[in-house]
Each structure stands twice: as C-alpha cells, then as structure tokens.
Amino acid sequence: MYELNQVSDRCYYIQSPAKIGLVRTGDTSVVLIDSGNDKDAGKKVLRLLEGKGWTLEAIYNTHSHADHIGGNRFLQEHTGCRIYAPGIEYDFTRAPILEPSYLYGGNPPSELRHKFLMAQPSRVKELASEDLPDCMQMIPLPGHAFDMVGYRVDNVIYLADCLSSEATLAKYRISFLVDPKKYIETLLQVREMEADWFIPAHADATQEIRSLCDINIACVREIADHITALCTQAQTGEDILAALFAEYGLTMTMEQHALVGSTVRSYLTYLSEAGRIVPTIRNNRLMWQAQS
C-alpha cells in the first residue's frame, strides 16, 4: 500500500484505499490529485515525496468525500501547499461538517462525526481552470458527488469515484450517488473517452474503460428497476431501504443508514422525475408508488 506507480513520463498514482494521483510539473515539483483518507495517509505520502526529493506545490481535489480530502490538512501544514476544490465541493472541503449533515438530513449525531465521513478542514480555494498547471485539464464528472471532477494529463485520465470495481459492486451493490441520472450521463461520457491510461480511485488502473462503465451503468439501472418494483404497493423510504438491505445482504449500521439511505432517496428523486414513481402523503407519512 502507498506504492508509487508510473504510467507516463510525468503521471503517477499512489496505490491506496482511494488512489492518489501524482503529476510532476517540474524537475522536483509535483501536484497531487486528492490526498488520501486521513492524517496517516498524509504522513505516508509526505514520506514518499521526501524520499524522491520532490516538493508538493498543490493538491487538486476531485470532490469532498473524506477518503479523498483526509490528508489535505496534514500535507498543507507540513508543506504549505495550495489546495483547490471544484464548485460546491469547495464548500464541503472548507467545512467538512456539511458532509455528515447532508447525509443525515440534520445535525449529525456523534456516530457520524468520524474521519470516514468528516475530514479535518483545510485552507482551500475554489478551483478555476486558470489554477491548473498547463499540463492539466479538468473534466466534469457529476453524479457520485455534486461537482466531482476528473483530470486529464497528457493521455492519462484520473477518474475519481465515477466507477466502482466489479468486486466492490458485487459486495456492496449500491454505490453512493447524489444523482443517478447525471451519474449515468457521466459514465456514457467516460465510455467514449480515449486515453492510454484510466485511473479510477476505487478500481484497477486500466487501458480499457468501456466494459467497467457498462457494468456500473447496468448496476444503476438494476437498482432503479428494483426500487420501482418495490413501489408496486405504496412504500415509505424506510420500507424501501429495509427491503434493499435484505435483498442484497447488507448490514445496517448508523453509517450505512446515512450513506445508502441518502443514495436511495436520490434514486427516488430520479425515478419520480422520470415519471416512474410518484410521491404521496398518507397518514402523515411520505410514500412512493409506481405509476400504473
């Protein structure tokens, strides 16, 4: 873990729970794409950089989830590097309490205030195209997070969390999404991209991305169909969530209730906007029913 892998003259990735991109911008200067999940990740990355004699100039976050920004604060404190995040991800990175608050839908309990859902805040700037090194291009990849982006450097594309590995999908089935419609659109866009290497954060680096895009798209459509089928009779969101956990053999915890529950609510919005289900209030409960 935390081995450095080179994929082009100046492009690398650091193997970690959420892959960290590394791009050489000069003889000894580098920038990172994300920073790992916590302070310990930051320490390991810093040791790697020091071992190579490299100076960290900046961190370009793809989105604000804690496993991608958790090393920001440590690395910034020890290197003085700049940190950038795109769109609304800037706000969440600056104020990480927004992440568990959003997932929970209110003031989050202590069970959701931990490093896996709430990173340490860092001094961050909202990313604009002029902030990027000349060799980097920002690619919008919404769906998994509101304003998630990837980065193209030469003929290498860093894809952040827009794809899960086949093994991850088999184990957890329901990937976290804020917008299934935009997620499918993103995957259809990625499917047509050409590059020498694709670097997803949670799947193997690969030179062929289409088959994994197809697997992820099929999974989203399967879950959407399953939720629609569950709504043949009017169901509450909690009823649907419990049925999905039973169907896919998932274990309910406070964290999983927040993560999967938020994702299921996003599916309900997606299906409602597509005209496949409709919301209704019955006995003071919000319920969902498939269109006849």
Residue located via tokens 């899960």: 164
**What are the tens digits of pLDDT across the range 153-170?**
999 999 999 999 999 999
- Fold match flag (4-221 vs 227-290): no
Among 3.30.2010.10, 3.60.15.10, 3.40.50.620, 3.40.50.970, name the CATH number for the domain at 4-221: 3.60.15.10
DSSP string, 197-255: EEEEEES--BS--HHHHHHHHHHHHHHHHHHHHHTTS-EEHHHHHHHHHHHHT----HH
Among residues 169, 131, 119, 161, the alpha carbon closest in space to that of 143 is found at 161
Reply yes or no on whether the pLDDT at 292 is more than 80. Answer: no
pLDDT of residue 127: 98
Domain boundary assignment for the chain: 4-221, 227-290
Among residues 67, 180, 82, the alpha carbon closest in space to that of 122 is found at 82
User: Percent of the chain at pLDDT above 90?
Assistant: 99
Summarize the confidence of residues 35-56 as an average pLDDT: 98
pLDDT of residue 234: 97
**Taking the mean position of all CA atoms in its chain, how far away is CA 190?**
15
Model confidence pTM above 0.85: yes
Report residue 182: phi and psi, to 5°: -65, -30
pLDDT of residue 211: 98
Residues in the chain: 292
Pairwise CA distance, residues 258 & 289, whole Å: 23
Reply yes or no on whether the pLDDT at 96 is more than 90. Answer: yes
Reply yes or no on whether the pLDDT at 174 is more than 80. Answer: yes
Summarize the confidence of residues 114-132 as an average pLDDT: 97
Summarize the confidence of residues 60-66 as an average pLDDT: 98
pLDDT of residue 166: 97
**Which residues have a Cβ under 8 Å from the Cβ of 22 and sit 6 or more positions away?**
4, 11, 12, 13, 14, 30, 31, 32, 33
Summarize the confidence of residues 178-190 as an average pLDDT: 98
pLDDT of residue 74: 98
Pairwise CA distance, residues 162 & 213, whole Å: 9
Provide the CATH number for the domain formed by 227-290 in this structure.
1.10.10
Among residues 145, 148, 201, the alpha carbon closest in space to that of 178 is found at 145
User: Percent of the chain at pLDDT above 70?
Assistant: 100
